[in-house]
Structures are given as structure tokens and as C-alpha cells.
Amino acid sequence: MRKFTYLVPKTLNEAISMHTSYDGRTRYIAGGTDVLVKLKEGKIGPDYLVSLKHIICQDQPFLNTETGELYIGAFMTHRSIERSSLVEHQYPILHDAVKNIGSVQIRNVATIGGNLVNAVPSADGAIPLIALDGKARIYGPKGDRLIDLARFFLGPGQCEIQGAEILTEIIIPRLEPRTGSAYIKHGRREAMELPMLGVGILLSLDPDMATCAKARICLGVAAPTPFRALAAEAYLRGKSVTEDSLTEAGKIAAGESRVRDSIRGVAWYRREMVGVLVKRMGLLALERARNMELNM
């Protein structure tokens, strides 16, 4: 492995100034679970690694009870999100996703920010956060900006983060009442493997607890970037959520996906599974919305 200098800034501004000083020869490192693999494989060879691990930040997802917004720090590990009872009970789609990332050893160090910035089509953290209408807060030499996570991914390995910019936070807007959500990572094994397909669904219901008021259907590894199946979402809106309507939504979502053959699965099988899993996750999201209402 090529030698590098490890820099440990204590603030965001210090990190940005280190990155800018050695422009082009630097990489940020958070948990290092993607960066170190690439370094060892010789895919990257920076002279400087600028650590983001020592910058002081919140270590638990935080709900602003006045605005209903959930704040998740980008340097938070998957494990700390998984262990949040707030996430487990109110944002089950996110809990479903983070609890199956790698192994517990990986989740103890790997961060949600690193997962998003690495920007692979199979990033498990991306799908639930897009389904939750999350926004990314990005801090850089020119200040702060917010961008919808649905527009964050530009292509495999490419995202909105440019140069010395740092992803600092993900903000989830207030959940609509009567909302349920679910995510499934589909592959040959549940853990220690990147998914062959990732499917996340969020459904908000009308007061009758049957009609869909809002739908989010997000797919991973079904196109070059994680994406929302907009036609399938539009189909469900205003309809009664049933096995039949979810089957139809699944077919539409399968038609919207741009799956391809890869080492982890062939395209026709992936497309077929989009339909199957949209229906399965839709039924789970419906059940969770109804249970949540019963327990309120």
C-alpha cells in the first residue's frame, strides 16, 4: 500500500483547509471501510488522508419535537443509528437498512455519510433516506447548502460532493400521520454482502387507514444510482392499498428499473424481484402504519 500522511482536524473548517491546501492529493476518511479497501487495491493513492472522525458532532439521531425534523449526523456510525430506539420505532425503513450493513464490526466504524458519499448503486443507507424525503447538508469553502437526497447521486461513485466539501448532516422532514415504511436488502445472504437489489417503501394513509395519501418507492441496484420509481408512486396515490394495487405498482416499478446483468444477479431475475419485493414491502409498510396507529 502506498504511504500517506494521516491528518486529524478537530473542526470542519480545519478539515476543509487541510483538504484545500493539498488539493488533488487528499481524501477524507470517516470509518475507512471503503477508503481502506480502495487504498489496498491501489484504486486510489492519496498523499494525505484527512480524518473526519475527531470532529465533534452529535452521536445519536435527534428529533426536533417542534418541527418534527429528524437530524442524523453524517459522521454517525450505522451501529449508533441501529441502536436508536427512535429510529427503530418511528423510522423502521432506516432501521431495516442499517441493521444489515456488513457485520457489527463494520457497523461500529462505518458511517452513514461515507455510505452516501461513496455513492455505489448498492448503498443500503441511501434508499431509506431518499424514501424519507431526506436532505443532505453539505458544508464547503463557500458555506452551507442543502440538497434533496433524491438528486444527490449523479452516477456510480459520483455524487454532489465536490472538492473539499463535507457532508455534515441528513435532515428528514416531519413524518406524515399514519405512515409505515419498510426496506429489504435482497441477495444470496443477508449480511456481509452488498445487495443484489434494495427495495424501500414508505406509505402514508388517509384517515380510513386504507387509501394511499403518499407513496415513496425507492430502488437500489436497479439503475446506475438509487432512484424513486415515480410512476409506481403516482399509480398508488389515491388508491386503496391492497395486494392487487401493490402487485400493479410492483409491475410498474419493474418497468421503471434499468437493471443489468452483474456478478450478483442477472437482469431478468432482478426485474422480476422488483415486482415481488415492492408488493412484499408495501404490505409490511401497510401493516406497520396500521400498528403504529393502534399504538398511539
Ligand X SMILES: Cc1cc2nc3c(=O)[nH]c(=O)nc-3n(C[C@H](O)[C@H](O)[C@H](O)COP(=O)(O)OP(=O)(O)OC[C@H]3O[C@@H](n4cnc5c(N)ncnc54)[C@H](O)[C@@H]3O)c2cc1C
Answer yes or no whether residue 147 interacts with ligand X by CB under 6 A: no
- 106 near ligand X, judged by CB under 6 A: yes
- Smallest distance from the beta carbon of 74 to ligand X, in angstroms? 4
Collect all residues with Cβ–Cβ distance below 8 Å to 90 and sequence separation of at least 6.
Answer: 63, 175
**Segments of the chain assigned E as strands:** 5-7, 26-29, 48-51, 62-63, 70-73, 135-140, 143-148, 153-155, 158-159, 166-172, 179-186, 197-205, 212-220, 227-228
Shortest spacing between CB 165 and ligand X, in angstroms? 7
Question: Hey, which bits of 32-69 come out as E strands?
Answer: 48-51, 62-63
30 binds ligand X (CB under 6 A): yes
| Residue 35 contacts ligand X per CB under 6 A | yes
Pick one of 113, 140, 250, 282: the residue that binds ligand X (CB under 6 A). 113
Site for ligand X in 52-91 (CB under 6 A): 52, 74
Binding residue (CB under 6 A) for ligand X from 167, 184, 236, 281: 167
User: Does 26 contact ligand X by CB under 6 A?
Assistant: no
Residue 8 binds ligand X (CB under 6 A): no
Q: Is 117 in the site for ligand X (CB under 6 A)?
A: yes
Min. distance of Cβ 215 from ligand X in angstroms?
24
Sign of CA dihedral 122, 260, 229, 88: negative
CA angle 77, 196, 72 (to 5 degrees): 20
Strand-by-strand arrangement of the 70-73 sheet: 62-63, 70-73, 166-172, 135-140, 143-148
Q: What helix, strand, coil percent values describe the chain, rounded to 5?
A: 35, 25, 40
Site for ligand X in 183-212 (CB under 6 A): 192, 194
Beta bridge partners of 84: none
- Strand partners for 6: 49
Report the nearest approach of ligand X to the CB of residue 278 (Å). 20
Nearest distance in Å: CB 180, ligand X:
23
Find the binder of ligand X among 18, 63, 70, 123 (CB under 6 A).
123
Q: Give the binding site for ligand X (CB under 6 A).
A: 27-35, 37, 52, 74, 101-102, 106, 110-111, 113-115, 117-118, 122-124, 161, 166-167, 192, 194
